[in-house]
Structure 1
Amino acid sequence: MTGTGKAQTLWTKDFVLIAAVNFLIFCSWQALPFVLPVYLQELGADDVVLGWVTAITTISALLVRPFCGIILDRFGRKGIFLAGIAFMGLASATFAFIPVIGIILAMRFVHGLAWGITSTSSSTVASDIIPPKRFGEGMGLFALSASLAFAIAPGVALESFNVGGIVPVVAISVGALAVAFVFACLLRYRPIEKKATLRLESMLNRASILPAAIMFFLAACYGSLVTFLAVHAAAQGVENVGLFFTAYAVAVALSRPFLGRFVDRKGYAIVLLPGALLVAAALVLLSQADSLPLFIFTALLYGLGFAACHSTLQTMAVADAAPEHRGAANATFLVGFDCGIGAGSLVAGALATVAGYAGMYLCFAVLPLVAAAAFLTFARKRKPPSLKETSG
């Protein structure tokens, strides 16, 4: 096998560029979900409506992802990717103008369509760039760009909102996308030698369905966290909750590079199962958190656990796909992620009205255990490409 040298180099200019683009896209995306619930609460929205802030975008992203995946595999990456970034910028700008609850929710639906196109394209371009023998490590580092955005953008957005309202938050979101568009133009896109056919069965990748289904349960927890963390902290009398995201970033930044290498060398289970247990423990702690130090400790556990689960399952979903099916593979995985976030945020809103925020997070702590059980039952024999090559 002649897979060494340049073909196996991970840190190329294109990899750095796509990671930077992904970071900026996620910064734009993550700035709004944490601010809009607070903004809508000021406009008179209740907890059920707040649950729709996240759910409605995941529904629209879910609708567009399968079509985006097959179009990427049929017509190439560049045009779809650049159009998605531009569309997302226009959708983000609208939140600065009309302070009406119904219109804001409608625009979140449009925002989700743009997000579905852009994030599916970004993951697919990264999949083209990462060498197979370092796929777990590469996907882990690529996912790190999104996790760092999750750590930085919400805190900056909340502080900007507290100082100047929704307008500076929107300016940050649109500005990040403008820079991302410039960087995306500089990328060298890999040509597709064998193009996918435009058939209904080509929209979803069969081998990616199982990791997407497992991701559903973990993403539901993420949906509850994203939607209600700020209001939960406020209800507990905890200020400076932006430090939660800083702690999350530290955990993710320290763990991502090592987690991907473990996947490549030892397989999926050694990373995924401890990660699921950490997510469950973090949600139990979050349900009881009543001080900033406890919120920060919870963020460290959650960041480490969720990073382990997400990067492992995304690697599992995409690693075995042929180049002409990587768009569909990424779309399939992200459909599972979207479904989980949407269902999680809606159920969280309903649970919060009955059991409060603490009781809601305690209920969600069961879901990572369900994800671990599903992996052990259906997927524990699957191997990353690196182990298949060495064993075969």
Structure 2
Amino acid sequence: MNKAKLFTKDFLIITFINFFVSLNFSLLMVIISEFAMIKFNSSPGEAGLLTGMFIFGALVARLFTGVWIGRIGQKKTLYIGLVLVLATACLYFGAASVSLLLVVRFLHGISFGIASTSAGTIAAKIVARERTGEGIGYYGLSVTVAAAVGPFLSIFISRHGSYSTIFAVCTIFAAFNLILALFLSARDVKLTEKQLAEMKEFKLKNYFEPNVVTISIVCMVIFFCYSSVLSFFSVYAREINMVEAAGFFYIVFAAVIILTRPFVGRLFDFKGENLIMYSAILIFIIGMVIFSQAQAGHIFLLAGAVIGLGFGALQSSGQAIAVKLTEQHRMGLATSTFYMFADTGMGSGPWVFGLIIPFTGFRGMYLCVAAIMAACLLLYYLLYGKNAMRGIVKQGDVRPCE
């Protein structure tokens, strides 16, 4: 029996659209703390708040995006998001104070939340069910590669150009995405009159997908921990004299994920999610310990490889589990619910860790992250893993964890 085709025109287009949306995010995420600390003399806590404000904006947008997708369709929602991404990218040029920058970050987060949620919904509907792990894994590479290219470009441009040049590059990418979206031909899922009527009712289940809450909580903790690396990466690298190695950290990070992603996706589909999730959490813990204690460039890059292997597998597998648990007509809600929890972790992390740094230093803070990830092993088992092991988690089960 032939496998369902995976790399269709629409799949490639939506993957590239998500790549450029994510690239805008990672380009700014890495340097925004440093930008605020240098230009406005902000404290680490204030700089972390700037990072978190973006995620908070995305969180607010995701709360309503799943409903909009159900009512007006994922393509129209995607177009709205991409237009807003372009508009907010232009606003960075006028941010002349920390207060204005906070507003811009919040608005940019809203646009990012709309665009990325609708793109993820389109991708989930394009991928055949029997290839969920593999398909979502490849789609997730758009985020992974962006997470590698973005920091590399940010560090390169900031060293040889200016912050305004970074803002200009983000604006160009946002404009290109709008053009790319015109070639997307994926059809919206047709909802029945009953389903449309239900979506218009003011009910909690019209804003959250109950099936994916437990796995989303686990991923919230994972993204909470990863935010410590992303938001303070540039400052940490400078403090420990790893600026040269820092330029290649995310290249190594992405290379490892790209090389291992095909195997991770297939293992997910054929061996189950528990094998991937337990292994990846352990690998992530090891990576954070190495990262916290790195004294030489090659050790710093080794940490990038190990963290990339662990986090990359967790990111794609977590979303694949969410897709696996959801019915087609509620895919938008499932995607928005998953990202809402992930954004909560990503947004609160920089602020929390920014408050910890003055007491522990960067190395101590990253050891705390490793300890939190260790607790995440138990959390995954209690909320999802034990039922997956028993084989009682299935699509449409509104109680995925007893």
State TM-score, norm by structure 2.
0.92
Match of 2:223 in 1: 219
Give the whole-Å Cα distance in 2 for the aligned partners of 1:303 and 1:238: 18
Deviation at 1:372, TM superposition (A): 1.8
Aligned counterpart, 2:242: 238
Match of 2:275 in 1: 270
State which of 130, 133, 142 in structure 1 corresponds to 2:130: 133
Q: Aligned partners of 1:300, 1:290: CA distance in 2, in Å?
A: 16
The question of whether the paired residues in 2 share the 8 Å contact of 1:209 and 1:333 is answered with yes
- The match for 1:174 among 164, 171, 174 is 171
Deviations 1:301-337 (A, max 9, x none): 0000001111111111122212210010001100110
Alignment of 1:189-338 (within 5 A): 189-194=186-191, 195-196=195-196, 197-198=199-200, 199-200=202-203, 201-240=205-244, 241-338=246-343
Distance 2:99 2:190 in 1: 46
Q: Which runs of 5+ in 2 are unaligned?
A: 396-402
Verify: 1:110 aligned to 2:114, yes or no. no
Determine the C-alpha separation between the residues in 2 that align with 1:54 and 1:374: 26
| Counterpart amino acid of residue 122 in structure 1 | A
Runs of 4+ in 1 over 4 A off after TM superposition: none
2: CA distance, partners of 1:40 / 1:148: 26
Q: Find the residue that maps to 2:185 and give its secondary structure.
A: coil
Counterpart code for 1:172: V
- Given residue 230 of structure 1, which amino acid in structure 2 is its aligned partner? S
For residue 398 of structure 2, what is the aligned residue in structure 1?
A: none
Number of the residue aligned with 2:20 = 24
Deviations along 1:62-83, one digit per CA (max 9) or x if unpaired, are 1120210111022101111011
8 Å CA contact 1:208, 1:333 repeated in 2: yes
Instruction: Provide the aligned length of Structure 1 versus Structure 2.
Output: 383
Q: Does the 8 A contact of 1:33 with 1:53 survive in 2?
A: no
Code of the aligned partner of 1:336:
F
* SS of residue matched to 2:388: coil
Query: 314-323 vs 129-138, which deviates more?
Result: 314-323
Q: Which amino acid aligns with 2:314?
A: C
RMSD: 1.7
One-letter amino acid matched to 1:159: F
CA contact (8 A) 1:53 1:227 kept: no
The unaligned stretches of length 5 or more in structure 1 are: none
Amino acid at match of 1:190: R
- Contact 1:239-1:292 at 8 Å conserved across structures: no
Give 1:228 shift: 0.6
Q: Please point out which of 358, 365, 374 is paired with 2:363.
A: 358
Letter in 1 for 2:293: Q
Amino acid at match of 1:368: M
Letter in structure 1 aligned against 2:63: P
Amino acid at match of 2:234: A
Tell me what 2:388 maps to: 382
The 5-angstrom pairing of residues 368-379 of structure 1 reads 368-379=373-384
Q: CA deviation at 1:378?
A: 2.6
Q: TM-score, normalised by structure 1?
A: 0.94
Structure-2 separation of matches of 1:64 and 1:18: 20
CA contact (8 A) 1:217 1:370 kept: no
For 1:235 and 1:290, locate their aligned partners in 2 and report how far apart those are by CA, in whole Å: 11
Q: Is 2:30 the partner of 1:34?
A: yes
Question: 1:49 corresponds to which residue?
Answer: 46
Aligned-pair CA distance for 1:382: 2.8
Distance 1:97 1:292 in 2: 37
Q: How do residues 59-78 of structure 1 correspond to structure 2 at under 5 angstroms?
A: 59-78=56-75
- Alpha-carbon distance in 2 for matches of 1:382, 1:206: 17
